[in-house]
Amino acid sequence: MKLASGARTDVGRVRTGNEDSYFVDSPLFVIADGMGGHAAGDVASATAVEVIQSKRDAISAADPESLSEAIREANRAIWKRSADDTNLSGMGTTCTMILVDGATARIAHVGDSRAYLVHEGEMRQVTDDHTLVGRLVREGKLEPEEAARHPQRSMITRALGVDEDVEVDLLSLPVTEGDRLIICSDGLSGMVSEEEMTEILRDESDPQTAADRLVDRANDAGGEDNITVIVIDVGADTPAGPDVAEHRSDLGDRAMTDPAADTGYHRAVEVAPKKRRWGRRLLVALVLVALLAGGGFVAARFALDNSWFIGVDDQGSVTIYRGIPDEIAGLSLKEVHERSNIEVDQLPAFKRDEVEEGIKVGSLDEAEATLSGLENLVKDPDFQSSFSSPGSRPH
């Protein structure tokens, strides 16, 4: 069957860089959502897509395992780069791939990017989220509605680059003329409900227009993460959408050899809680200091007393703090509320970086829920097998 596609990536409204990568070479479509912070996250996702592109001729619907092998090879490449370069330590990426072959869509998947199918106007998610919350939903311990609002909904338990090998989900999905497939990073699924997505996909018959509207809607909802989406129409009369050269010709070999190179490559990432912009945090800190110095002590004290974050104390323990992580002119703007039994070195590198920077939360309840999620992540068997196996990277 003929295919038509539309694709778009966007940095969003909060982040300063884009760490997503995507690849369109109909009938093969790939999204990778990097983690580990700029520039490590974008290097991880770019490496994944680069490796898969290099394996393009070996990927075949007749051999579904070839999809899994391409992702595992990408995993090995990311793992090796991370081991060889301390500046890239802890980087990783999700990866979701679709290969459409006649009436079958072959899907290979790792992480919390998603694939959806729209059939006869109804949309359903066809991949599992490899997250702590996703596992609780599958085990019946959490309702999907609760998961959508859960503070730890993006704590990843499986990703490329965190171990020498990775387990890849493989599934075959029957498709018929008129069906629509969607791949997206969590910058879309985390900001736009499935009901809203379905409405847009029903309204827009053109896949590129649909992709554009989905990205715009995620930005309208706050754009807290980078947003990448590919829309694939099955049995379409129009040709496939964006040519791969449009999205990869500006990458060349630089992202593979120089992670600091400004390639202009399409990227965006990461796992929640989201990193704050340092400029905004510094501004908040300076305003509070000015209030304290200028007699606005009550207002500043109120703001600090009602601010919370997860950080690391001097002994390396993950800790709930009241206040903000910043220190201005030697003035500390935080105080310890609760120390946990978790050592920061028990966390995977990408999560360790977030905690060391300070994970800002909106309330004490959210802080306690976030801390509980970190404790569960450390105890989770999938986490232990991924990050604590004999072959895993030492912390």
The three-state secondary structure class of 184 is: strand
On whether the CB atoms of residues 271 and 155 are closer than 8 A, the answer is yes
And the tokens for 283?
A: 């501004």
The per-residue pLDDT string of the chain (395 residues; one tens digit each, 9 = 90 and over) reads 799 999 999 999 988 789 999 999 999 999 999 987 655 888 999 999 999 999 999 999 999 999 999 999 999 999 999 889 888 888 899 999 999 999 999 999 999 999 999 999 999 999 999 887 767 767 777 666 666 666 556 678 889 998 899 999 999 999 999 999 999 999 999 999 999 999 999 999 999 999 999 999 999 999 989 999 999 999 866 555 554 433 332 333 333 333 333 333 333 322 233 333 334 444 445 444 554 454 444 444 444 566 788 999 989 999 999 887 766 555 667 888 999 998 988 887 667 777 888 887 778 888 888 888 788 777 765 555 444 433 333 33
On whether the CB atoms of residues 105 and 28 are closer than 8 A, the answer is no
pLDDT at position 277 = 37
Can you tell me the distance from the alpha carbon of 203 to that of 318, in angstroms, rounded to the nearest whole number? 47
Which of 40, 42, 52 lies closest to 21 in space, CA to CA? 42
pLDDT at position 267 = 34
CB-based burial label for 138 (10 Å; 0-12, 13-18, 19+): exposed
And the tokens for 58?
A: 């070996």
The three-state secondary structure class of 204 is: coil
381 CB-near residues (< 8 Å, 6+ apart) = none
**Structural domains in the chain, sorted by start:** 3-257 (3.60.40.10), 278-387 (no CATH)
And the tokens for 166?
A: 């990775």
Q: Nearest 5 degrees, angle CA 229-CA 232-CA 236?
A: 150
Q: Which residues pair with 328 in a beta bridge?
A: 331
pLDDT at position 140 = 75
pLDDT at position 392 = 37
Q: Which residues pair with 63 in a beta bridge?
A: 60
On whether the CB atoms of residues 181 and 116 are closer than 8 A, the answer is yes
pLDDT at position 375 = 82
Can you tell me the distance from the alpha carbon of 340 to that of 374, in angstroms, rounded to the nearest whole number? 10
On whether the CB atoms of residues 241 and 7 are closer than 8 A, the answer is yes
* Per-residue 3-state assignment (H helix, E strand, C coil) for 288-299: HHHHHHCCCHHH
The three-state secondary structure class of 20 is: strand
And the tokens for 205?
A: 């018959």
On whether the CB atoms of residues 160 and 110 are closer than 8 A, the answer is yes
